[in-house]
Amino acid sequence: MVNLQLSTYELAKLSDVIIRARRIVVFTGAGVSAESGIPTFRDAQTGLWAKFKAEHLATANAFRQDPALVWGWYEWRRMLVMQAQPNAAHRSIAMLASYVPRLTVITQNVDDLHERAGSKDVIHLHGSLFKPRCFACARQHASGVDIPNQPDAGQRVEPPRCIHCNGRIRPSVVWFGEQLPAVEWNAAMAAVTRNACDVFISIGTSSVVYPAAELPFEARSNGAIVIQINLAPTESDMYAHYNLYGPAGEILPQLLNTAWGSQDF
Ligand code: BJW
Ligand code: ZN
């Protein structure tokens, strides 16, 4: 069933654009994991920032002031991710790699659901829940593979200590006010600039957090056709050639099956 809110003419044009593309970039945000049961940040009622204050949990200063609160919150989130499964959108993205000469997956998500669906070399712009490191000396800490001991969302958990300098271990995510990891950011920019990308598909992001939100704009400025899939309009609608509204786990498989005339996605 095709319900992409496009006219037959637009759908035919979009299908043509997709199957002709040689280099596709898929750019994802929290919405791509929502159907796996992972909360987004900014959705009213269900988003994390509707219940928790970002400045108390997602800044270096918050960690300095109350490391156990911050560590406990991230352990709770790590537990949610470890108990979740990739959904149809993650699986379609992984499958797409077999259909185009070059697919680059760039995510703002700190979960590992793209990898568990089979995507390779995913560029994580905002880090990962699974590579904790020392807050003081930045060395990686060997943990994060066990399912945490069922903490509640607001439960304080003392972070472990670094075996090298006794500093506190922090989650290796990018907090507000911190630079994005240079290697990942440069790889993301390289994938969208200098005509490196024919089609850029943005999925499930509100496009309000910078510099990640620059990517659809950069892609379009560099010649890409920009497609956005989201439940609702976002700050990036104006940069997208096609805005498809609905759940990513339904819209993306429909779109790709329509483009290739298949049932593979
Ligand atoms: C579905 C769906 C379904 C739901 N299907 N769709 C003023 C102007 C411009 C910039 C700034 C400013 N003031 C401060 C800044 C900078 C700041 C920033 O951008 N702030 C804005 C919020 C204003 N940025 C930074 O600080 C960044 N660093 C930086 O700029 O460094 C340079 C610098 C450093 C020092 C000094 C000076 C300069 C770092 C940003 C780090 C963001 N970190 C977080 C937390 C990561 C760790 C963690 O997970 O806890 O990253 S914040 C949070 O937002 C997380 C996400 O990756 C990020 C983006 O969110 P996302 O993915 O878009 O989620 P939502 O919830 O916003 O949207 C979900 C969407 O999905 C919605 O649209 C739904 O409709 C949709 N949806 N279900 C399809 N089933
Ligand atoms: Zn250390």
Give the residue among 137, 146, 138, 171 at the shortest CA–CA distance from 57: 171
Confirm whether 241 is a catalytic residue: no
CA-closest residue to ligand 1 atom 51: 126
DSSP-assigned beta bridge partners for residue 127: 173
**Tens digits of pLDDT across the chain (265 residues):** 567 888 889 999 999 999 999 999 999 999 999 999 999 999 999 999 999 999 999 999 999 999 999 999 999 999 999 999 999 999 999 999 999 999 999 999 999 999 999 999 999 999 999 999 999 999 999 865 566 666 678 889 999 999 999 999 999 999 999 999 999 999 999 999 998 999 999 999 999 999 999 999 999 999 999 999 999 999 899 999 999 999 999 999 999 999 999 999 9
Active-site pick, 124, 126, 141, 164: 126
Query: What distance in Å separates the CA atoms of residue 34 and residue 206, rounded to the nearest whole number?
Result: 13
Taking the model in full, what pTM does it have?
A: 0.96
CA-closest residue to ligand 1 atom 7: 210
**Candidate of 26, 41, 234 to mutate for ligand 1, largest count of ligand atoms within 8 Å of Cβ:** 41
Q: Which atom of ligand 1 is nearest to 110's Cα?
A: 49
Residue 237 CA, distance from chain mean position: 18
DSSP-based three-state secondary structure for 194: coil
